[in-house]
Amino acid sequence: MRYIQKVQPPQFFIEDTLNLESWSSYFSHKKHKLKEHLLEHEQNYLCCYCESKISSDTNSSHVEHIRPKGHDKYPHLTFEYHNLAVSCNGTCQNLPNDSTIHNCGHIKSNEYDENLFLNPVELEDIRDYFEYDIDEGKIEASAKNEQKASYMIDTLRLNDGGLTKAREKALENFIEKMKKIEANLRREEIKKILKEEKLEQISFFEI
């Protein structure tokens, strides 16, 4: 999981959400505009939890309330810009026509343990809580805080729904790409890719 640095709320978001009382009254084309903004300016088109490549298309992603907006949770944060990110719909690795939800925001739903949740828009060192089994593409808890990291992996099901395979595939693609680059230029290219953080499953490469 990567740290997401929030920017100031854009003016259109402030205007679009002014005086709205419920999330359902926020028109879908306006939500779409917000998603596009968040993906472009804050998330490099990666899911805020699993780092799968997503677009602002409704079938691919949704606006995620990191602290859930449920009436028994944080309804006052429904339109709080710093509580909003874009999550995949948990179907990224599915075969066509399979809408089974496997992970991320829709699976997390109303769950948020204030003592355990590692919030990607708050923790600059969030990546340090995780490590990867490079052979199996699995995300695992590091020694930093196993309880919190395991809670996140379980709550978001970060090893389900083909995500381990997606990490393996991302690594294969990366190696293929590197083979096409002259050996003496590879080091610089790798540095650039890691710095940009645009690559799918980027944390898998960072660690």
Question: Where along the sequence are the contacts to Zn ion (CB under 5 A)?
Answer: 47, 49-50, 88, 104
Q: How far is the CB of 14 from Zn ion (least distance, A)?
A: 27
| CB closer to Zn ion, 34 vs 88 | 88
Q: Which is nearer to Zn ion, 16 or 160 (CB)?
A: 160
Nearer to Zn ion, 49 or 132 (CB): 49
User: Is 37 in contact with 86 (CB distance < 8 Å)?
Assistant: no
Q: Which is nearer to Zn ion, 49 or 130 (CB)?
A: 49
Least gap, CB of 104 to Zn ion (angstroms): 3
Q: Please, what's the b/e burial string for 7-21 (b: 16 or more CB within 10 A of its CB; e: otherwise)? A: eebeeebeebbeeee
Nearest approach, Cβ of 68 to Zn ion (angstroms)? 16
- Helix, strand or coil, per DSSP, at residue 197: coil
Sequence-distant (6+) residues with CB within 8 A of 45 are: 39, 53, 54, 55, 198
Q: How far is the CB of 49 from Zn ion (least distance, A)?
A: 5
* Chain length of the chain: 207
